[in-house]
Amino acid sequence: MKHTSLFGFEVYTGSTESLAQTIVEAVRKGETLYQASLNTSKLALCRRSELFRDTMRGFDVLSADGMSVVWAGRLCGARIEERVAGIDLMDRLLGLSTVHSIPVYLLGARGDVLERAATKMLSAYPALRIVGTHHGYFDARDEDGVVGAINQSGAKMLFVGMGSPGKEELLVRQRPRLKVRFAMGVGGAYDIWAGDVRRASSRMQRYGLEWLHRTLQEPRRLSGRYLHDNAFFALLVARELMAVRRRRVSHAQRTR
């Protein structure tokens, strides 16, 4: 897989399709691969929390889930082919899992939302092997039981629809115990699958305005967070550009 250094991480630079194919091949070979997405909010959180930054480094693949990250990468000289949206990667993996009969486990959201999401998935992919589901509203006392249920199901792929940093911390913390071969966080994907939340139009996604679409749906909850995170992200980009410039100057001086 192709990667580039950006914001202190090794970020995947290929396409969604290529990544999905790579993941499925790894699963079929018995290899273990954990994937996480990087977006504006998570990068801001990484700067505020050293613990979360270390958590993100516990994943095998970090992909750019946000046009702002893609554009920032290109601005800094990192050629990221496209945005890898978590829900798009999940959808492709569900399709490929039916082709290769790979069992999957769905974790997260409310029980009723998860049930409706699973029904829609089975409608889209009738041969999909969903071997278990569990809602995302559990605490530390229930965690061992949830992990045990996932292991007992025989699932090889795990999709976790919970918020950040909870889902990332859960996957990294429980990775030594989990028997799945692939795991990824899918955020609010189950709400979209269930039809409770509408996704932004393809045009808004293309222009990096999905955050605005979400803010308009939940202004009280999200407006302050996005304004803060976007401002913080602009500062991160400025710092990254200065670091790139310093490296270029240093390289030029060494090659004289």
Predicted pLDDT at 246: 74
Q: What is the mean pLDDT of the chain?
A: 89
Contact 75, 237 (CB under 8 A): yes
Q: Indicate whether this model's pTM tops 0.85.
A: yes
Q: How many CB atoms lie within 10 A of CB 127?
A: 10
Lowest mean pLDDT, pick from 70-79, 111-120, 129-138, 158-167: 70-79
Within 13 Å and on the Cβ side, how many CA atoms surround 203? 0
Run of H or E residues at 104 = strand 104-108
Predicted pLDDT at 190: 98
pLDDT tens for 107-121 read: 999 999 999 999 999
Q: Where are the domains of the chain?
A: 3-254
pLDDT at 218 over 70: no
The residues near 247 (Cβ < 8 Å, ≥ 6 apart) are: none
Predicted pLDDT at 249: 56
pLDDT tens for 6-56 read: 998 999 999 999 999 999 999 999 999 999 999 988 998 998 899 999 999
Split at pLDDT 50, 70, 90, the class of 251 is: low
Pick the more confident residue, 221 or 44: 44
Judged by DSSP in three states, 49 sits in: coil
**CA–CA separation, 157 vs 146, rounded Å?**
15
Percent of the chain's residues with pLDDT above 70: 86
pLDDT at 194 over 60: yes
